[in-house]
Amino acid sequence: MIELYESQRAMRAMRKAAMQRGVIAVLDVGTSKISCLILRFDGANQTSLGEGVGSLAGQSGFRVIGEATTMSRGVEFGEISAMSETERAIRTALQSAQKMAAVRVDHVIACFSGGQPRSYGLAGQTDVENQVVGEQDIARVLAACDVPDYGTGREVLHAQPVNFALDHRSGLNDPRGQIGQNLFTDMHMLTVDERVIHDLAHCIKRCDLELAGVASSAYVSGISSLVEDEQELGAACIDLGGGTTSLSIFMKRHMIYADTIRIGGDHVTRDISMGLQVPFATAERIKTRHGGVIATGRDDMDMIEVGGNTGDWEHDRRSVSRAEVIGIMRPRIEEILEDVKDRLDAAGFDHLPSQQIVLTGGGSQVPGLDGLASRILGQQVRLGRPLRVHRLPQSFSGASHSSLVGLSLFAAHPQDEWWDFEIPHSRLPTRSFKRAVRWFKENW
């Protein structure tokens, strides 16, 4: 536990250093694309709050000064499989973003969707020492959480206290300074495969950069695509990515559940590729230009040129109707949504007061998806786009970049995690100076 604690604390310190320098990069390592934004933190609020622009949810302290997207290579299911290829792709993205920003970036915050994240709900309870809740009481109640055995080879990615309760009062955000006897906490912990984080860290280190934070892309796309009342009342964000579909459930502005399904848009493309006997790139073009999930009579007459360059005239002049493409795509998308439904049911999403579901990510751009999703997932389904960020280019404002925008919000205003609180004295090493100070305080 301590090592993780230390490395997460080190990353927090790195983020602080980056904030002082004012420039930080955020990097979304996805299965189909790797994109990068370079943010400049000026401190001053330079946004003009024009018509139709709200308070910008507090993210107006930074602006985007560089951006780049490149095709991802060597990433499968959100996990790095060919490290040198991925390293080169990251380098491509970073170099063009740095060129655009004309600044050198040394710190990067990354997110990924792989690693089979698993959510755990933790609960802890402790007595308040001096009647008034202090930093140390919170540290002790967090330490008192009974950590489940999440298995070797896994690492904690997020551990956020979502609720504090003092005696009979629950739903406290910040119990410090309040008077009570027993302090309870609920914590949400997300673990991922250790190997995935290490691969990512290694790749970033190979690019001469410092890792200033890691986030799950399920979490960050929820931050950017759920609007405030959805985060407050409870909603699920489903990010239909290239290799994975990640889902996160938010309640009272905290993520309470996250999961990943290892099926994504690439599988749809592969189905088309296999079904129509066309190369992967052609299948991708057909999917993005002509894809859909709900066929109408008109689609039978809508013929799509498949093309090809085999030299066989018959083979190269084939054409398929749009209805056929939809017929290939729909079962796979239904499968994805059924899986999502299973995971949401397993998480107990139907017990939440609000059943709002937001679809985002590149896969959510399939025409008619919201209709299909509302048939499977429930009535309250909408398509989500990321929040507006100051100077975000138009090409990055689509649903496919919601996790990147969420990551930049996460970089600007990270939520308090376990490692942002104090370490309880009892866990400090025996010869620590703080422990000696505490001994003096207690005895005099």
Partner 1 sequence: MQPLRPHRARQHSNDPAPSVLSYRLLRLMLTPVLRRLVFYGIPAFVLAAGCGLYFAKQENRDRVTAAYQDIYRSVIERPEFIVKMMTVRGASDEVDQDIREVVPIDFPISSFDLDIQDMQKTIRALDPVAEVKLFVRANVLEIEVIERTPALLWRNAEGLDVLDIQGNYVRSAATRLDYPDLPLIAGQGADSNIMEARQLLAAVRPLQDRVRALTYVGERRWDIVLDRGQVLMLPSDNPVRALERIIALDQAQQLLARDVAAVDFRIASRPTLRVVAQNDDIVSINNTQSGEP
Total residues found in the chain within this entry: 444
Candidates 102, 301, 353, 433; binder of partner 1 (CB under 8 A) is 102
Q: Does 205 interact with partner 1 (rule: CB under 8 A)?
A: no
Handedness of CA 188, 193, 198, 201 (dihedral sign): negative
Candidates 208, 229, 316, 345; binder of partner 1 (CB under 8 A) is 208
Q: Does 147 interact with partner 1 (rule: CB under 8 A)?
A: no
The site string for partner 1 over 80-99 (x = CB under 8 A, - otherwise) reads --x-x---xx-xx-xx--xx
- Binding region for partner 1 (CB under 8 A) out of 101-109, 150-158, 238-246, 406-414: 101-109
Write the single-letter amino acid at 370: D
For residue 381, give every residue at least 6 positions away whose Cβ sits within 8 Å of its Cβ, in sequence order, or none: 357, 358, 359, 370, 373, 374
> Which residue's entry shows tokens 């933190």?
41
| 62 touches 39 (CB < 8 A) | yes
Q: Is 223 exposed, middle or buried (0-12, 13-18, 19+ CB in 10 A)?
A: buried
Q: Does 202 interact with partner 1 (rule: CB under 8 A)?
A: no
Q: How many residues bind partner 1 (CB under 8 A)?
A: 16
Closest to partner 1 by CB, 94 or 286: 94
The site string for partner 1 over 46-75 (x = CB under 8 A, - otherwise) reads ------------------------x-----
Minimum Å distance from CB 314 to partner 1?
A: 30
Minimum Å distance from CB 70 to partner 1?
A: 7
Minimum Å distance from CB 95 to partner 1?
A: 5
Minimum Å distance from CB 209 to partner 1?
A: 9
Alpha-carbon separation of residue 76 from 34, 141, 264 (angstroms): 12, 39, 11
Q: Cβ–Cβ contacts within 10 Å for residue 437, how many?
A: 11
Q: Does 35 interact with partner 1 (rule: CB under 8 A)?
A: no
Closest to partner 1 by CB, 47 or 95: 95
Q: Does 273 interact with partner 1 (rule: CB under 8 A)?
A: no
Closest to partner 1 by CB, 90 or 366: 90
Q: Does 21 interact with partner 1 (rule: CB under 8 A)?
A: no
Minimum Å distance from CB 93 to partner 1?
A: 9
Q: Does 380 interact with partner 1 (rule: CB under 8 A)?
A: no
Q: 158 in helix, strand or coil?
A: strand
Q: Does 167 interact with partner 1 (rule: CB under 8 A)?
A: no
Give alpha helix (H) positions in 192-252: 194-206, 217-225, 228-233
Q: 410 in helix, strand or coil?
A: helix
Minimum Å distance from CB 82 to partner 1?
A: 8
Q: Does 207 interact with partner 1 (rule: CB under 8 A)?
A: yes
Quote the CA–CA distance of 81 and 93 in Å, as a whole number: 18
Alpha-carbon separation of residue 112 from 27, 79, 299 (angstroms): 9, 7, 37
Closest to partner 1 by CB, 83 or 201: 83
Minimum Å distance from CB 440 to partner 1?
A: 46
Give me the residues paired with residue 191 across strands: 118, 156
116's torsion region: left (phi>0), alpha (psi -120 to 50) or beta? left
- Greatest Cα-to-Cα distance within the chain, rounded to the nearest angstrom: 94
Quote the CA–CA distance of 89 and 394 in Å, as a whole number: 22
Q: Which residues bind partner 1 (CB under 8 A)?
A: 70, 82, 84, 88-89, 91-92, 94-95, 98-99, 102-104, 207-208
